[in-house]
């Protein structure tokens, strides 16, 4: 009788462990989350485009539990002098928030700030002459602010 009870308890315990392990695995973020995060926070235009496409379809990435929240350019204007910097600021926020949550912010901050600057400069390529110069100067100022104070 004791042997049957012990066997039954062992089987029940193993079944419970299997259910809990499966439930935990199902709710955990995918193992490639760091690689995906890295691919979306590089300095290249293709990295920016991947992030923008994912941002437009966040529900497809919900299993990754990314923090998509943003305050855009924080206390600075989102569109200084009419230059549309808001989306660049949103990607910068995405990188900061998600690397902080991962506990790897300090090792990635410099690259995130550089990616931000490259994003801003890509905004400025839409302009020419004095307007392009003003845009690039503003981009440099925004970059210096996050590099020092971000």
**Active-site annotation holds for 2:** no
Domain count, the chain: 2
Give residue 47's pLDDT.
98
Query: What's the DSSP call for residue 29?
Result: P
Q: pTM for this one? A: 0.82
Concatenate the DSSP letters of all residues of 82-127 into one string. G---HHHHHHHHHHHHHHHHHT-HHHHHHHHHHHHHHHHHHHHTT-
Quote the CA–CA distance of 54 and 60 in Å, as a whole number. Answer: 8
Q: Let me know whether 17 and 66 are in one domain.
A: no
C-alpha separations of 36 from 40, 79, 98, 116 in Å: 6, 29, 11, 18
Give residue 28's pLDDT.
84
Q: Let me know whether 5 and 39 are in one domain.
A: no
Q: Let me know whether 53 and 106 are in one domain.
A: yes
Residue numbers of the domain that contains 22 = 1-28
Q: Let me know whether 5 and 67 are in one domain.
A: no
Identified catalytic residue from 40, 66, 88, 92? 92
Tell me the average confidence (pLDDT) per consecutive run of 10 residues in the chain, 150 residues long.
45 40 59 98 98 98 98 97 98 98 98 98 98 98 96
Q: Let me know whether 87 and 105 are in one domain.
A: yes
Q: Let me know whether 55 and 71 are in one domain.
A: yes
């Amino acid at each position: 009788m004791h042997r049957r009870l012990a066997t039954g308890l062992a089987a029940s315990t193993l079944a419970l462990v299997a259910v809990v392990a499966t439930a935990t695995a199902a709710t955990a973020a995918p193992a490639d989350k760091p690689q995906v995060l890295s691919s979306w926070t590089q300095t290249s235009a293709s990295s920016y485009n991947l992030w923008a496409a994912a941002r437009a379809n966040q529900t497809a990435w919900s299993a990754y539990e990314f923090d998509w929240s943003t305050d855009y350019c924080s206390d600075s204007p989102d569109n200084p002098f009419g230059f549309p910097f808001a989306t660049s600021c949103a990607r910068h926020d995405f990188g900061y928030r998600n690397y902080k949550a991962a506990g790897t912010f300090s090792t990635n901050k410099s690259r995130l700030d550089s990616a931000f600057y490259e994003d801003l400069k890509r905004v400025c390529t839409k302009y020419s002459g004095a307007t392009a110069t003003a845009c690039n100067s503003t981009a440099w100022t925004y970059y210096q602010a996050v590099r020092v104070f971000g």
